[in-house]
């Protein structure tokens, strides 16, 4: 995969358009004002923004936020993001009233200035990847930089459409990190390479299982998806969540993957799913019981495999980890990954929450900023935003 890095370009005196991911969660405070409840995505963009400023660029930032359905919605304005970015950078950030149009064009930043465009999705043309809208965005800049890996799986105007209309296009520092670690994991991993997949549904991760099955030495399965595989083996699963329409697929995957695929050998079960519900550990799930976590023998088995790995890829929890005490299996796996000497790559979303809950996020080599994007990448799907960068060379 060959693409230009922002570090390869001369930014001095140039207007640099950086596609960032400021799709941050917002909540109203007691005064009724919208506040950001997690600024991790803004913080993740700081290295590229600082790099552009330090190298003499005028910086234009663009992002979406939420799903405003193609029209302005004040509750999805990026104004809170502009305020937080200014606080984090200690640098003035101008907020544009829109993302295109004469008023925005008149605000184009000089070297050392930052302009944050208003929510791209206030225009339906963004998600439609409209060429006319793409040209308007491209007309704002001399250089395009994509630093929003979390949006790279979307073929939108700001992630793909505008690239053919800009003089130069490059990957930002965050995008580089994502492509470095995820690319290494699926193209040239140090071995043994172990993948850990959890979550509720096999259907959500069919392509990931199939693709990683060709790459890894061991594939450890947890979460509710394990019960579909267990039922495919003829094992009792009680009232555990199962995808009946995926049993035949699971049977094919079991044959295809053979001994490299490992399933839970014991389970934490309950009669009803409630926080703190009475639970027990079983090797066979009785009728009427529901599996909610992997058991201690499975944790021990998985930890042993993890300890011998040189590359670890993890996406998805081992149980209903948001309802303690059914987070024990997930936390134990997180700690095993952290204790390993392997290069560890954790997908976004619930997997990131799991390593945070376990208190080991600082011991993970790379935590992806893109949940959906990282899943598609691991599934071997070419991401439009990344592919557009490689074509722009």
Q: How confident is the model over 350-371, as pLDDT tens digits?
A: 788 888 888 999 999 999 988 7
Catalytic residue selected from 161, 319, 349, 385:
349
Quote the pLDDT of residue 393. Answer: 63
Among candidates 313, 315, 310, which has minimal Cα distance to 342? 310
**Residue 186 domain-assigned (yes or no):** yes
Active site residue 41: yes
Active site residue 201: yes
Q: Check whether residue 50 and residue 118 sit in a common domain.
A: yes
Structure token digits, residue 115: 């302009």
Q: How confident is the model over 288-314, as pLDDT tens digits?
A: 999 999 999 999 999 999 999 999 999
**Residue 237 domain-assigned (yes or no):** yes
Q: Check whether residue 155 and residue 183 sit in a common domain.
A: no
Quote the pLDDT of residue 242. Answer: 93
| CATH of residue 296 | 3.40.50.1260
Q: Check whether residue 329 and residue 349 sit in a common domain.
A: yes
Residue range of the domain that includes 234: 179-378
The overall average pLDDT reported for the chain is: 94
DSSP lists the bridge partners of residue 28 as 34
**Residue 385 domain-assigned (yes or no):** no
Which helix (H) or strand (E) segment is 343 a member of? strand 343-346
Catalytic residue selected from 19, 41, 246, 328:
41
Structure token digits, residue 388: 């557009």
Q: Check whether residue 45 and residue 160 sit in a common domain.
A: yes
Q: Check whether residue 374 and residue 263 sit in a common domain.
A: yes
Mean local confidence (pLDDT), 255-270: 96
Q: Check whether residue 164 and residue 23 sit in a common domain.
A: yes
Q: What global pTM score does this model have?
A: 0.91
**Residue 386 domain-assigned (yes or no):** no
Torsion sign (Cα): 102, 104, 105, 110 = positive
Mean local confidence (pLDDT), 231-239: 96
Q: Which of 151, 171, 191 is the last residue of a domain?
A: 171
Q: Residue 171 in contact with residue 197, Cβ under 8 Å? A: no
Active site residue 372: yes
DSSP lists the bridge partners of residue 264 as none
Q: Check whether residue 303 and residue 341 sit in a common domain.
A: yes
**Residue 388 domain-assigned (yes or no):** no
Catalytic residue selected from 7, 201, 260, 297:
201
Mean local confidence (pLDDT), 148-173: 96
Q: How confident is the model over 308-358, as pLDDT tens digits?
A: 999 999 999 999 988 889 999 999 999 999 999 999 999 877 788 888 888
pLDDT at 220 over 70: yes
Q: Check whether residue 158 and residue 60 sit in a common domain.
A: yes
Mean local confidence (pLDDT), 219-239: 96
Q: Check whether residue 216 and residue 138 sit in a common domain.
A: no
Q: Which of 171, 192, 214 is the last residue of a domain?
A: 171
Q: How many domains does the chain have?
A: 2
- Give the number of other Cβ atoms within 10 Å of residue 297's Cβ: 14
**Residue 122 domain-assigned (yes or no):** yes
pLDDT at 166 over 80: yes
Name the pLDDT band for 1 (thresholds 50, 70, 90).
Answer: low
Structure token digits, residue 164: 């053919």
Q: Check whether residue 200 and residue 146 sit in a common domain.
A: no
Q: Check whether residue 78 and residue 156 sit in a common domain.
A: yes
Name the pLDDT band for 234 (thresholds 50, 70, 90).
Answer: very high
Characterize 304-318 residue by residue with b for buried, 16 or more Cβ atoms within 10 angstroms of its Cβ, and e for exposed. ebbeebebbbbbbbb
Q: Check whether residue 131 and residue 217 sit in a common domain.
A: no
Among candidates 243, 253, 286, 254, which has minimal Cα distance to 267? 286
pLDDT at 112 over 80: yes
Q: Which of 145, 171, 197 is the last residue of a domain?
A: 171
**Residue 191 domain-assigned (yes or no):** yes
């Amino acid at each position: 995969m060959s693409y230009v890095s922002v570090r390869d370009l001369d930014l001095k005196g140039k207007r640099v358009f950086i596609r960032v991911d400021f799709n941050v969660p917002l909540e109203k405070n007691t005064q009724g004002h919208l506040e950001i409840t997690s600024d991790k995505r803004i913080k993740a963009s700081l290295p590229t923004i600082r790099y552009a400023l330090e190298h003499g660029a005028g910086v234009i930032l663009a992002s979406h936020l939420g799903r405003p359905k193609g029209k302005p919605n004040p509750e999805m304005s990026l104004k809170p993001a502009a305020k937080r970015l200014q606080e984090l950078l200690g640098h003035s950030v101008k907020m544009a009233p829109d993302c295109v149009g004469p008023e925005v064009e008149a605000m184009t930043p000089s070297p050392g200035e930052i302009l944050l465009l208003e929510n791209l999705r206030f225009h339906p043309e963004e998600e439609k990847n409209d060429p006319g809208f793409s040209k308007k965005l491209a007309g704002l800049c001399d250089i395009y930089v994509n630093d929003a890996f979390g949006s790279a799986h979307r073929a939108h105007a700001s992630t793909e459409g505008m690239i053919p209309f800009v003089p130069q296009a490059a990957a930002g520092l965050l995008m580089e990190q994502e492509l470095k670690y995820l690319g290494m994991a699926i193209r040239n991993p140090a071995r043994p390479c172990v993948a850990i997949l959890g979550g509720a549904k096999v259907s959500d991760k069919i392509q990931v299982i199939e693709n990683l099955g060709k790459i890894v030495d061991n594939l450890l399965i947890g979460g509710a998806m394990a019960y579909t595989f267990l039922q495919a083996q003829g094992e009792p699963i009680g009232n555990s969540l199962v995808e009946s329409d995926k049993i035949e697929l699971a049977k094919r995957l079991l044959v295809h993957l053979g001994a490299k695929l490992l399933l839970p050998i014991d389970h934490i079960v309950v009669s009803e799913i409630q926080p703190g519900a009475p639970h027990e550990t079983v090797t066979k799930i009785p009728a009427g019981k529901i599996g909610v976590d992997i058991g201690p023998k499975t944790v021990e088995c998985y930890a042993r495999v993890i300890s011998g790995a040189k590359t670890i890829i993890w996406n998805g929890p081992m149980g209903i980890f948001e309802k303690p005490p059914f987070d024990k299996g997930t936390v134990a796996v997180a700690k095993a990954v952290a204790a390993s000497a392997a290069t560890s790559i954790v997908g976004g979303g619930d997997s990131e929450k799991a390593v945070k809950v376990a208190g080991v996020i600082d011991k993970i080599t790379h935590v992806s900023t893109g949940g959906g994007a990282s899943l598609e990448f691991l599934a071997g799907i070419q991401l439009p935003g990344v592919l557009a960068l490689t074509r722009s060379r």
